[in-house]
Structure 1
Amino acid sequence: MKMFTSVPDVFLYRDFVDFRKSINGLAAIVEQQMRLSALNGSVYVFCNKGRDKLKILYWDKTGFALWYKRLEKDTFKWPKKLEQQSMNLTEQQLHWLLNGFDVLGHQAVSYASVAL
């Protein structure tokens, strides 16, 4: 499923985030630490310390939306050596990240089976 008809600016927050934070806490990170407007329609991507969960926050002109994704058997390839607080991603890099690829090195995630 596509979230957007056209993907706006995408910003990846470098540091790991406490995933007890929801919309208000993540919007505060965008405003205070990233020094960006949470209301400008951009997409903000956050990762937990275990790197197996992502949260995506965006404003869609009627309110905030928060997407959550959890990997079952692997971890997200989160960029480690960023000089800045955030990294701007292209639409393709966002899709790579959501599909388990390294946005910088393109390392694929592979699954053998799903344990339920």
Structure 2
Amino acid sequence: MIPIPSGVRVWIATGHTDMRRGMQSLALAVQQSLKRDPHAGDLYIFRGRRGDLVKILWHDGLGMSLYAKRLDRGKFIWPSASDGAVSISAAQMAYMLEGIDWRNPQLSWRPQSAG
């Protein structure tokens, strides 16, 4: 898990991104396409065309980090909006990285009794 300080915003870059891109190229995409400062401390999540790989770009104040996660099965749930970026909470990002539908998380089981 990425140690996210409180107050950091998480942005999903809608659409798909060429996953061959590195941190400099993704930072440039944040600056030009999303019209945001990639060095401001926010997290930016990019998804590939197949949907099973995401890259997370984050500047923590000391330097730029690039994280990648590939799902063995399934695809990451992605917003269908086409207007640049969607803001989500850190908890929703944690759900997303586990392959859970972050828009409407459901418990896998419910207790039947209290005792």
TM-score (norm 1): 0.84
1:41-56 residue pairs with structure 2 within 5 A? 41-56=41-56
Larger radius of gyration: 2
**Equivalent in the alignment of 1:22:** 22
**2:78 matched to which residue of 1?**
78
Q: CA deviation at 1:106?
A: 3.4
Aligned equivalents of 1:26, 1:97: Cα separation in 2: 20
Residues 1:69 and 2:59 are matched in the alignment: no
Residue segments in structure 1 that go unaligned for 5+ positions in a row: 109-116
Write the deviation string for residues 32-59 of structure 1: whole angstroms up to 9, x where unpaired: 0000000100000000000000100010
> In the alignment, what sits opposite 2:100?
101
Match for 2:91: what amino acid? Answer: Q
1:22 CA displacement: 0.5
CA shift, 1:7, in A, is 5.6
Unaligned residue ranges in structure 2 (runs of 5+): 108-115
Q: 1: distance between equivalents of 2:97 and 2:60?
A: 20
Does the 8 A contact of 1:47 with 1:53 survive in 2? yes
* % identical equivalent positions: 28
CA-atom RMSD in angstroms: 1.7
TM-score computed with the length of structure 2 as normaliser: 0.85
Count of equivalent residues: 107
